[in-house]
A = this chain, B = another copy of it.
């Protein structure tokens, strides 16, 4: 068996009566993308192991090799304290319904409290039977285009697994990626570039209309600011200005 990666132990993904091995493999891949490894199958139509699942899993071996198979949903959920049933349409049933984002926040809290959680997914096209849904504490429904709600099984699993991963992830929402060999330019370097360009534009006559000069200079400086230049890029642009100033078009 391949060892599980060093991520917090996430909820179990339980597929009830999945049909295509390819879909099971894509589920395994989507799970591992988000650090989930506990896959359980209830009565898979084509048996288990399934070579189609392995082929579609994109080498998510840690999931495929640890998959457990059960004959009944009731057996697959033993040991689980908090169970969510994913359904596309509301059932004629009194039960709490949550979004994937809400479920993810709850799953993280359950995990922190030491409880085991699980997510039930029904078979392709047909979804879960009502007798499976009643085993769950909560229904999970993905808000989607009401005119086209039929989600591929692996997409449904990915959606929840993705939200679970994001609920714990620390990636900044937005940041400037700067290659290692360089760094953001400091203001001294930037002002040097501003003044270099402005001198060249004064010399060339581009800024000769005196009343327009202050505004034009401000606009140009703002453009450079927005570009968030690195120190290397400031040097490149100073070289470009020097080259353009030096260049004399051939006289004919």
Contacts and interface: CB of A to CB of B under 8 A. Distances in A.
A96 interface: yes
Contacts of A99: 166, 171-174
B145 A7 contact: yes
B230 A177 contact: no
Listed residue (A5, A35, A91, A162) with the most chain B CB atoms within 10 angstroms of its CB: A162
Contacts of A179: 92-94
B30 A152 contact: yes
A207 interface: no
A20 to B, nearest CB: 13
Given A174-B97, A176-B94, A179-B93, A145 B159 contact: no
Given A7-B145, A139-B177, A177-B95, A33 B162 contact: no
Contacts of A175: 96-97
Q: How many copies does the complex hold?
A: 2
B177 A93 contact: yes
Interface string A76-112: 0000000000000011111111110110000000000
Contact of A148 (B5, B90, B142): B5
Contacts of A35: 144-145, 148
Contacts of A60: 148
Interface of A: 5, 7, 26, 29-30, 32-35, 58, 60, 90-99, 101-102, 139, 141-145, 147-152, 154-155, 158-159, 162, 165-166, 169, 171-179, 182, 228, 230, 233
A-B pairs with the 10 shortest C-beta distances? A102-B173, A35-B145, A143-B171, A143-B169, A32-B148, A98-B174, A5-B147, A92-B179, A97-B177, A33-B144
